[in-house]
Amino acid sequence: MLTNNSLASANNTSGATEPVSAGADVSATKDMFTKLLVAQIRNQDPLAPSDPSQFVNQLSQLSQTEALQSLSKTTSASGSVLQSLQVLAMGGQVGSQVTVATDRVRLDGSPLSGSINLPAAGSANLVLTGADGRNHSVALPFHTAGATSFTIDPSALGLAPGSYSISGQIADGARVPVEIAGRVDSVRLSGTGSVVLQVAGVGDVDPSAITGFNGKAPAVAAN
């Protein structure tokens, strides 16, 4: 809707107009828009004046743009506050025992506890696959349907320290998810700004993978 005459008049009135960058201040953008709108009104053809509703639409579009920019800033600020609160809340859980739904574990020679949920009574196996692609199967005793606890002792099983994929396998060959119990060692923000928990025996964990907070172990009194 802005004609060459309108732009020329605006330039003659206020000097050369600098291009508006993506991060330009909203007030500067509004001032430039107002000058161009005034120039357009002044230079319209008196014999064929523009429809006033067109000017109203332009002002409405400017208001909507300002509202969206303001909403974007408010949302960004709120997101930062919520993220900080989440880090603080999770930071208070450092030292707590948690259970994590995971398909990977880190073995360092210490026993590792966890559980699988059997859909029906029967026996099951844990299948651990090392970085070399070799599978290690650990038989679990017959158990009724529901949660079945287990302990992995790497030394007794001859499993070298390292990272392993892990899954539960029931009698018909179907895989069932595994939950591992571990201690929250640290909480940090990733490069993308998401919260990451470091859990012993598992590694980096997204908060959504935590299935239970089991409290902190009681402090051992010094002799």
pTM here? 0.59
* For range 148-155, the mean pLDDT: 92
Contact of 148 with 115, CB cutoff 8 Å = yes
Q: Where do we find the tokens 């998401």?
A: 194
- The predicted structure's pLDDT at residue 221: 53
Instruction: Write down the mean pLDDT value for the chain.
Output: 78
pLDDT of residue 215: 82
Domain extents for the chain?
A: 1-46+53-67, 80-99+182-214, 104-176
| CATH class of the domain whose range is 104-176 | mainly beta
In this predicted structure, what is the pLDDT of residue 193?
Answer: 75
DSSP string, 36-50: HHHHHHHTS-TTSPP
Q: Strand locations in the chain, DSSP E?
A: 96-102, 104-107, 112-118, 122-129, 135-143, 146-152, 162-170, 175-176, 178-189, 195-199, 203-205, 210-216
Instruction: Read off the pLDDT band of 198 (50, 70, 90).
Output: very high
Compute how many other C-beta atoms are within 10 angstroms of the C-beta atom of residue 210.
19
How does pLDDT run across 33-66, given as a tens digit for each residue?
A: 677 767 776 776 665 666 667 666 766 776 777 6
Percent of the residues in the chain that have a pLDDT greater than 90, as a whole number:
30
> Are the C-beta atoms of 167 and 173 separated by less than 8 Å?
no
pLDDT in tens, 7-32: 444 444 444 444 444 444 556 666 77
Give 69's contacts (C-beta < 8 A, 6+ positions apart).
26
